[in-house]
Structure 1
Amino acid sequence: MSDTALAVHRAFYDAVETGDVDLMASLWVDHPRVSCVHPGAAPLRGTSAVLRSWTVLMAQVSYIQFFLTDVDVTTLPIGAQEPTTAVIVCTENILSGEGMSSPEAFAGGKALCTSILVRDLSGGRTAGDWKFWSRHASPIAEMRLETD
């Protein structure tokens, strides 16, 4: 089950990297309690507000690529044959060309991200029906220790 949740999770990053608004919209539950917290920003509530924020972000970024590390998946209820919730925590290693003075230059950054995906087993839905319910990303500050 975690493989199908991970596939939806990866599709989210594919949508951002390619600027695919339709794919992004297909990945979120349509509900007023859906939430998203972008790094350093206030929480957004409701699918339309969340999708609007991703549409604006994708329109403003000419190049972005995510390299995910430390990916951990927990499905709930734990041990269930048919889990209904997946919590995915990962480190986003981000490569972007935004804000650089030269078109050939790139900037990097890191964020810790927690995504909660849900699925509804009623009405004949399948494992491929995992959808985002919530996403929270926080920047990771690079600490540099000076040595004498």
Structure 2
Amino acid sequence: MRSVEEQVVAAHRAFYDAVETADFDLMSSLWADDPGVSCVHPAAHPLYGTEKVLRSWAVLMAQIDYIQFFLTDIEVTTFPSSDDPQTALVVCTENILSEGESIESFTGGSAVCSSVLVRDGGQWRFWSRHASPVAVVEPGDEAEA
């Protein structure tokens, strides 16, 4: 039997699998169904409610030909910190590789993401997600950062 942290990480990874494969059915299964659900895409206003959040992912996945996520710095916190937590916070860095302007080119970037997952019907589901791009610091600009 997997530990709670392993279950949370598996649900979290399934989210990225859904985006990478444009699997809307998988994406839909990963979110709690509630008007309080929220998502903040980089440089965008918050979206509230499962329907709006899932619609935004459908549109984004339809526009992406290729994307791959390499997750680093994954931190999982569950609470209450008992043997039966009902909420989890996952913070990670998304290192993103996607198709560039031509078929032979790729582009990359990073974002820091915070995701709140809740135990819903025995499954870990997303309640809230917020991604923020990481600023690229050019050589010589370190003193200003």
When normalised by structure 1's length, the TM-score is: 0.91
> Of the candidates 125, 137, 145, which is equivalent to residue 139 of structure 2?
145
Question: Would you say 1:72 and 2:75 are equivalent positions?
Answer: yes
Q: Which residue does 2:107 correspond to in 1?
A: 107
Aligned equivalent of 2:89: 87
RMSD: 1.1
Is residue 29 of structure 1 aligned with residue 60 of structure 2?
no
In the alignment, structure 2 segments of 5+ residues that lack a partner are none
Q: Which runs of 4+ in 1 moved over 3 A?
A: none
User: Cα distance, 1:145 vs. partner?
Assistant: 3.4
Q: Deviations over 1:7-62 (max 9, x none)?
A: 00000000000000000000000000100000000000000000000000000000
Number of residue pairs the alignment of both structures matches: 138
Taking every aligned residue pair, what percent have the same amino acid on both sides? 62
Unaligned runs of 5+ residues in structure 1 are none
Deviation at 1:144, TM superposition (A): 1.6
Aligned to 2:9: 6
Counterparts of 1:97 and 1:143, CA distance in 2: 22
Distance 1:87 1:37 in 2: 15
Aligned-partner SS, 2:56: helix
1:131 and 2:125 aligned: yes
* CA–CA separation in structure 1 for the residues paired with 2:125 and 2:63: 25
Structure 2 Cα separation of the partners of residues 77 and 104 of structure 1: 48
- Give the Cα separation in 1 of the matches to 2:56 and 2:140: 38
The 3-state SS of whatever aligns with 1:119 is strand
- Inter-partner Cα distance in structure 2 for 1:94 and 1:104: 17
Q: More strand per residue: 1 or 2?
A: 2
